[in-house]
Chain A
């Protein structure tokens, strides 16, 4: 079997991609209007929503960057993972019920729609939509680039595609992504998410079993090796220190309820009472998949220190090196399919919310109504958005990485800082005002942008997103308390009291 390792990996990825194409064709027949395209007609069952929610949370970053971070900075990056239970809990307590109620009551298709209904303000709608578009470009570009780099690494190991270029890999991977997103919209997206979620859970648990068997003394031997080399790396705050760790705890924990691609999925379940089972199922799936992040990183750091493996050229090589040395070819095939699943499940969610922002929310904010024939334009803009993001990805790879890095600043941390107060707090506090929302979003964007542009390094590893998040929370509540209490629409007033 070892002799066919590369063929098995390529075969697994091809089967996975054919499945995505087939799902797109199946979902196309169920997509009749823009409501189906953007929110699946609010008719999804609890298992579908739960798997879609967690698989969108864990992007390619979790499968490649996560193990690389543990290899590089030790336990510091665990904080991004172990906060998931708190993050999901806060997200469901604050957002799941009211976003679903407002979406049904006002027939909302997107997060900015819900925000506009809550605040009765197109200015807030516009700012949220703008934040989403900026964030989507950065996220999508990095995901497409990651997908292409991994594809090139897999294919170049075969005789037939030994010299395949990065551009060809961008085209192939983007074409599959675009096909199922355009044909089936969010329906294709969430049903592929279900399979993607299962693959990620299986990959995570199998990798944990493999990782534990690398050292005779299991995980304890691996952590003891790291402890003997540099104890701080395996202690609770890791190499990056206490404030970097707590910053991730804050931004990744509370920030989960500010991620538009995740909370939009909370609008899609058929029955409100399904939320009681969606929460534990999502968390269980996330924990299973995240085992890969932790176990590969720890074992690879210990293996390099112990001399079992040569030092890695780049920390991000941790996962691929682990798979090539320690994993059975079949397991490597499952994990590589899981990696594509992780990247695509996040990318399709971003394509969907980005398209909604461009054809639905920004026109509504600027001229009072969205474009005519929304379903047609949704498909056109999905294609264009993916092409522009792929262009950004290639430009950043070959010419100048600054642009994507800047857009990347509008990632998780910016979404957390700008969207969490306005949505998660605003949906539960009738005193929140338009002035508070506008101030909080603007401050969050400005702080993140300035820190990124100026390349500021704050003491003790304090991160820009942490400062932005705390500031936007203070400004949101403070400005709302100082400004006149708003008169809410009667139906929204009732929803906020239920």
Chain B
């Protein structure tokens, strides 16, 4: 299946393009991109959050879900086909689910705030923003751990190194003969 990962990536990109088009053609909301603060020049306010998401909320949610899928798909593409073991794919699948979970928590807690008008705080920020700030930052850590700790297993094994060294030697011999 991962042999054809480029087709998956292409399908995700096409879907994202389609979503962008749908969002671009959706009913517009005045000042959806913000409006000047009534008192302080240079500041922009968002005002009615619920209205801004009314026509495109679910499309935007889907867009970012696809973006996170694209991120994981690209990381899979970056690993040689022969190293895409079950262990590697399980790690990638886990990373993908974690990032989707963080995105869902951010989006849903924001929706709750828009309905209820109340929020708790975590480490200095309102809960939805804390999911964005700390969650998004930390959500990619499994990918980084897989790269760093799995470097000799998935990215550049000792066999890969030997193969590349042989390639370098061959290239060096060829250039000397020329």
Task: Please state if A219 and B32 are interface contacts (CB–CB under 8 Å).
Answer: no
Task: Please state if A304 and B46 are interface contacts (CB–CB under 8 Å).
Answer: no
Report A-chain residues with C-beta under 8 Å of the C-beta of B138.
85
Chain A contact residues, CB within 8 Å of chain B = 71-76, 78-79, 82-86, 88-90, 92-95, 97, 101, 104-105, 212, 218-220, 222-224, 227, 229-244, 246, 249-250, 253-254, 272-273, 275-277, 279-280, 283, 287, 294, 301, 304-305, 311-315, 424-425, 428-429, 431, 458-462, 466-467, 470-471, 473-474, 477-478, 481, 491, 494-495, 497-498
Shortest beta-carbon distance, A432 to chain B, in Å?
Answer: 9
Interface string of B74-98 (1 = CB under 8 A from A): 1101111100000000000000000
Report A-chain residues with C-beta under 8 Å of the C-beta of B164.
101, 272, 495, 498
> When chains A and B are docked, how far (Å) is the Cα of A105 from the Cα of B163?
12
A244: which of B33, B77, B129, B144 is its contact (CB, 8 Å)?
B33
Interface string of B1-25 (1 = CB under 8 A from A): 0000010011001101100100110
Task: Please state if A223 and B144 are interface contacts (CB–CB under 8 Å).
Answer: no
B34: which of A240, A313, A497 is its contact (CB, 8 Å)?
A240
Whose C-beta in chain B lies nearest to the C-beta of A317? B42
Whose C-beta in chain A lies nearest to the C-beta of B161? A272
Report A-chain residues with C-beta under 8 Å of the C-beta of B60.
242-243, 246
Task: Please state if B24 and A78 are interface contacts (CB–CB under 8 Å).
Answer: no
B44: which of A72, A86, A275 is its contact (CB, 8 Å)?
A72
Task: Please state if A72 and B77 are interface contacts (CB–CB under 8 Å).
Answer: no
Chain B contact residues, CB within 8 Å of chain A = 6, 9-10, 13-14, 16-17, 20, 23-24, 26, 28, 32-34, 37, 39-49, 52-53, 56-57, 60, 63-64, 67, 70-71, 74-75, 77-81, 99, 106-107, 110, 113, 119, 121, 123-126, 128-129, 131-133, 136-141, 143-144, 147-149, 151-152, 155-156, 160-161, 163-164, 167-168, 170-171
> When chains A and B are docked, how far (Å) is the Cα of A481 from the Cα of B17?
18
> When chains A and B are docked, how far (Å) is the Cα of A315 from the Cα of B24?
29
Task: Please state if B132 and A498 are interface contacts (CB–CB under 8 Å).
Answer: no
Whose C-beta in chain B lies nearest to the C-beta of A68? B42
B42: which of A71, A104, A241 is its contact (CB, 8 Å)?
A71
Task: Please state if A235 and B49 are interface contacts (CB–CB under 8 Å).
Answer: yes
Whose C-beta in chain A lies nearest to the C-beta of B19? A470
Pairs across A and B, CB under 8 Å, 29 listed: A71-B42, A74-B46, A85-B143, A86-B139, A89-B140, A90-B75, A90-B78, A93-B143, A97-B155, A219-B125, A223-B121, A230-B47, A236-B129, A239-B34, A242-B56, A246-B60, A254-B71, A254-B74, A275-B151, A275-B155, A305-B40, A311-B39, A424-B74, A425-B6, A470-B17, A474-B10, A474-B13, A474-B17, A498-B160
Task: Please state if A470 and B16 are interface contacts (CB–CB under 8 Å).
Answer: yes
Whose C-beta in chain A lies nearest to the C-beta of B166? A494
Report A-chain residues with C-beta under 8 Å of the C-beta of B39.
311
Given A235-B129, A241-B33, A242-B60, do A93 and B75 touch, yes or no (CB 8 Å)? yes
> When chains A and B are docked, how far (Å) is the Cα of A273 from the Cα of B165?
13
Task: Please state if A272 and B156 are interface contacts (CB–CB under 8 Å).
Answer: yes
Q: Which of B9, B148, B163 has the most CB of A within 10 A?
A: B148
Given A85-B141, A312-B42, A462-B20, do A246 and B168 touch, yes or no (CB 8 Å)? no
Shortest beta-carbon distance, A412 to chain B, in Å?
Answer: 17
Given A243-B60, A254-B74, do A280 and B144 touch, yes or no (CB 8 Å)? yes
Report B-chain residues with C-beta under 8 Å of the C-beta of A90.
71, 74-75, 78
Task: Please state if B42 and A477 are interface contacts (CB–CB under 8 Å).
Answer: no
The A interface is mostly helix, strand or loop, or mixed, namely: helix
B26: which of A227, A234, A459 is its contact (CB, 8 Å)?
A459
Task: Please state if A279 and B148 are interface contacts (CB–CB under 8 Å).
Answer: yes
Task: Please state if A241 and B77 are interface contacts (CB–CB under 8 Å).
Answer: no
**Closest 6 A-B residue pairs measured CB to CB?**
A232-B46, A219-B124, A93-B78, A461-B33, A276-B151, A85-B140
B124: which of A220, A239, A315, A491 is its contact (CB, 8 Å)?
A220
Task: Please state if B24 and A459 are interface contacts (CB–CB under 8 Å).
Answer: yes
Shortest beta-carbon distance, A408 to chain B, in Å?
Answer: 20
Report A-chain residues with C-beta under 8 Å of the C-beta of B152.
273
Task: Please state if A283 and B17 are interface contacts (CB–CB under 8 Å).
Answer: no
Report A-chain residues with C-beta under 8 Å of the C-beta of B64.
246, 249
Task: Please state if B143 and A86 are interface contacts (CB–CB under 8 Å).
Answer: yes
Given A236-B110, A241-B34, A481-B10, do A88 and B46 touch, yes or no (CB 8 Å)? no
Shortest beta-carbon distance, B95 to chain A, in Å?
Answer: 9
Shortest beta-carbon distance, B174 to chain A, in Å?
Answer: 9
> When chains A and B are docked, how far (Å) is the Cα of A429 from the Cα of B70?
15
Report A-chain residues with C-beta under 8 Å of the C-beta of B137.
82, 84-85, 287
> When chains A and B are docked, how far (Å) is the Cα of A90 from the Cα of B95?
13
> When chains A and B are docked, how far (Å) is the Cα of A275 from the Cα of B149?
11
| Beyond known contacts A280-B144, A498-B163: 12 more, CB 8 A cutoff | A74-B44, A86-B143, A93-B74, A105-B168, A230-B46, A234-B126, A254-B70, A275-B151, A304-B40, A425-B9, A425-B74, A494-B163
Report B-chain residues with C-beta under 8 Å of the C-beta of A462.
20, 23-24
Task: Please state if B132 and A75 are interface contacts (CB–CB under 8 Å).
Answer: yes
Report B-chain residues with C-beta under 8 Å of the C-beta of A104.
168
